[in-house]
Amino acid sequence: MKNIGEIFITNALAQESSPAQKPQSPGGPFGMFLPMILVFVIFYFLMIRPQAKQRKKHQSMIQGLKKGDEVVTSAGIHGRVTAVADNIATVEIAENVRIKVDKFQVSQVKNQPSPTA
- Specify the pLDDT at position 34: 85
Query: Does residue 88 sit within a domain?
Result: yes
Number of domains in the chain: 1
Who's near 104: CB < 8 A, 6+ residues apart? Answer: 62, 87
Give me the percent of the chain exceeding a pLDDT of 90: 58
Query: Does residue 10 sit within a domain?
Result: no
pTM greater than 0.75 (yes/no): no
Query: Does residue 15 sit within a domain?
Result: no
Q: pLDDT digit string (tens) for 25-81? A: 566 677 778 888 999 999 998 999 999 999 999 999 999 999 999 999 999 999 999
Residue in 69, 94, 95, 73 with CA at minimum distance from that of residue 82:
69
Question: What is the distance, to the nearest Å, from the Cα of residue 90 to the centroid of all Cα atoms in its chain?
Answer: 32
Who's near 101: CB < 8 A, 6+ residues apart? Answer: 73, 77, 88, 89, 90, 91
